[in-house]
Structure 1
Amino acid sequence: MATLVRRLFKVALFIGLFFISARYIPLSNEWTEGEAHAWWRVSDWLGTRDPEDLYFVVWMTIELIVAALAYVAIMKLWRHYRTKQIKAPTA
């Protein structure tokens, strides 16, 4: 039962981190002429019709990577904290 709760907590932590990071995606970004040209070229090269769709997918991928890195950092810090707690001598 405790294992299930830990796994559910980890899943909820990752989903929460992802939603927090995805909340800050600049959806209404105004591009300069050069940026718009670059996004159009890349979207044509990849075969997407709208460069804003590509922009959204790129940012969601970046936010997923950020959430994964934050999750890994939190888990490592938690393990480090737990090992210090266990190794601490009791009086």
Structure 2
Amino acid sequence: METLVRRLFKLALFISVFLLSVRYLPPNHEWTDSESRAYWAASDWLGIQDPRDFYFLLWLSVELIVAISAYVVIIKLWRRFRK
């Protein structure tokens, strides 16, 4: 039972960190000409028709990386200060 509670707590912690990163790291909705060309080229190379879809996937990947990094740091600090 204790293991289940720990896993649920860790899951809730990760979800909350992810939602905080989505909330406070908003995507940039205005593209410059060079960014627009880069997104069009990358989406064409990957076979994605709309560059906004590619941008959304890229933005979601960045958010996941930020959330995972923050989660790992929180867990390591928790283990260090618990000793």
Tell whether the structures are fold-level matches, with TM greater than 0.5: yes
| Distance in 1, Cα, partners of 2:47 & 2:63 | 23
Structure 1 runs not aligned, ≥5 long: 84-91
Question: How far does residue 75 in structure 1 lie from its aligned partner after superposition?
Answer: 0.5
Provide the C-alpha distance between the structure 1 equivalents of 2:37 and 2:78, rounded to a whole number of angstroms.
Answer: 45
The 2-side partners of 1:40 and 1:30 are apart by: 14
Moved over 4 A (4+): none
1:13-33 Cα shifts (integer Å, max 9, x gaps): 001111111223326x11111
Q: CA deviation at 1:46?
A: 0.5
TM value normalised by structure 2? 0.92
1:67 and 2:67 correspond: yes
TM-score relative to the length of structure 1: 0.85
Which structure is larger by alpha-carbon Rg, 1 or 2?
A: 1
Indicate the residue corresponding to 2:76 in structure 1. Answer: 76
> Which residue of structure 1 lines up, in the alignment, with residue 53 of structure 2?
53
Aligned to 2:21: 21
Is residue 2:37 matched to residue 1:37?
yes
Number of corresponding residues: 82
| Structure 2 alignment gaps of length 5 or more | none
Looking at secondary structure, tell me which structure has more helix per residue: 2
Q: What percent identity do the matched residue pairs reach?
A: 59
